Homo-oligomer: A and B are copies of this chain.
Amino acid sequence: MASRLIVIGGVAAGMSAAAKARRTDRDLEIIAYEKGSFISYAACGMPYWLAGDIPDHEKLIVRSPEQMRKQGIQVQVRHEVTAIEADTRTVTVKDLENENTFTQGYDRLVLGTGARPAWPPLGSTGLPGVFGLRSLESGLALQQFIRENSPQKAVIVGGGYIAIEMAETFRRLGLDATMMVRSGKILRSTLDDDMRELVEAELARYGVRVITGTLTSLEGDDQVVAAASAHERVPCDLVLMGMGARPNVELAKAAGATLGPTGAIATDAYMRTNLPDVYAAGDCCEVLNLVTGKPAYIPLGSTANKQGRVAGENAAGGQARFGSVVGTMVVRCFNLVVASTGLTAARASAAGFKVQETMVRAKDISHYFPGASDIHVKLVVDGSRDRLLGGQIVGSRGVAKRIDVLATALYNRMSITELRQLDLSYAPPFAPVWDPILVAANVAAKE
């Protein structure tokens, strides 16, 4: 009899795992349960769909349950796995349509339960007009609210990349937008203060207000009418919780899965949990940060897809490994592109490194070429060992792929001496003769 793989979760990690398991073992029985109504969608595209760049939410859906079925993967939407019994290799499943509960045995299991928006411990967050943005359902609910209520003033609680993307979306939709950030520092974990100022200026240029404060209450009876911190009450008719993500670990934890220091599920490089034949992947897991050598919680779609693929291959008998991450991110903020990889100077100092930091302003293409714009590159270096620890880039073009050069440098544990020698592409429409990365490396080498 063929083995059975059960996948819990039908989005990035879960569907990558199922598809890769199918390609690895043609005979495996594969069943995936997804609590929500949609599978395999590009959640990261939602801010742009809500802004109108993408005409229809169906464009965000990569594969339907029918398409998965044709690949021999049974996908059950609106089915919540409520318990895992590792001893008997059984899951308990609730059909949310009819509340029926049943059990199903497995030989291998992949946890892809994802994450949910971080949520403040306030009673009033259930008010109409208060939204998170993670599942496609949450995006559809937000879209419907905007269409039906034509809100005028949005408060975004938090300052991470989804908060920034949604501030842009709200402004483009004509709403006032205020970001309420606990530390007052947007992108706190990925940008240092000098680079943050550039992003703050861009937000201000486009009318986004950033205020410092912790959300202490949401006011309203039938609908939210204000968000308040200890210092300020901001009238609003729409609130978006953009304080980051929390891993959905309750199911795994109840089954005996070990959580790591970050509170997310701990796995080895093969994406195995401590439970026999139970793998985990994606936003419910922690990762190993290559730069610090320590576990970190960095939920990103790119990582979820890679991990899902590894978990699926191994659950089907393979021996794939997921390495570590360096924490690469990029986000659009109006006409700026903001990217970071590795450690900020602040985080590197906190981690005990002897930090040397260099920031340069250069042109993104040859200075004489039409459209040449400023680009800022910051390098964070371990001064005692000449080793690159991180980089940040803010500019209008050529940012995302330049941060990837630094991400590749971090993966290879490059020194600044080596970084200066890189043979990077040069032609006037695409880069100056000294690429801004090399300019930064040259300056760093002198410091």
On A, residues with C-beta under 8 Å from B are 12, 42, 44-45, 48-49, 53-54, 59-60, 161, 290, 300-303, 305-306, 322-332, 337, 339, 341, 366, 368-370, 398-405, 407-409, 411-412, 414, 418, 421-431, 433-435, 438
27 A-B pairs within 8 Å (CB atoms) are namely A48-B369, A48-B429, A53-B369, A54-B369, A60-B368, A302-B423, A302-B434, A303-B423, A305-B434, A306-B438, A324-B423, A328-B424, A332-B427, A332-B429, A337-B430, A399-B430, A400-B425, A401-B402, A401-B404, A401-B405, A404-B435, A405-B408, A407-B423, A407-B424, A407-B425, A408-B412, A412-B414
Closest-CB distance, A299 to chain B (whole angstroms): 12
Neighbouring B residues of A332 by C-beta, 8 Å:
427, 429-430
The complex places the Cα of A42 from the Cα of B426 at a distance, in Å, of: 12
Neighbouring B residues of A438 by C-beta, 8 Å:
306
Q: Which of A290, A302, A341 has the most CB of B within 10 A?
A: A302
The complex places the Cα of A425 from the Cα of B339 at a distance, in Å, of: 8
Neighbouring B residues of A45 by C-beta, 8 Å:
366, 368-369, 428
Given contacts A368-B54, A369-B54, A370-B54, contact A404 B433 (CB under 8 A): no
A433 partner, pick from B42, B337, B425, beta carbons under 8 A? B42
A409 partner, pick from B305, B398, B408, beta carbons under 8 A? B408
Q: How many copies does the complex hold?
A: 2
A402 partner, pick from B302, B341, B404, beta carbons under 8 A? B404
Neighbouring B residues of A424 by C-beta, 8 Å:
302, 328, 404, 407-408
Do B429 and A300 touch across chains, with their CB atoms under 8 A apart?
A: no
Neighbouring B residues of A331 by C-beta, 8 Å:
427
Q: Which of A405, A423, A424, A435 has the most CB of B within 10 A?
A: A423
Neighbouring B residues of A408 by C-beta, 8 Å:
405, 408-409, 412, 422, 424
Neighbouring B residues of A306 by C-beta, 8 Å:
421, 438
* Identity of the chain B residue whose Cβ is nearest the Cβ of A301 in the assembled complex: B433
Closest-CB distance, A281 to chain B (whole angstroms): 14
Neighbouring B residues of A329 by C-beta, 8 Å:
425, 427
Neighbouring B residues of A328 by C-beta, 8 Å:
423-426
The complex places the Cα of A423 from the Cα of B12 at a distance, in Å, of: 16
Neighbouring B residues of A400 by C-beta, 8 Å:
398, 401, 425, 427, 430-431
Do B12 and A433 touch across chains, with their CB atoms under 8 A apart?
A: yes
Additional A-B contacts beyond A12-B433, A332-B429 (10; CB < 8 A)? A42-B428, A42-B433, A44-B426, A44-B433, A45-B369, A323-B421, A328-B425, A398-B400, A405-B405, A411-B422
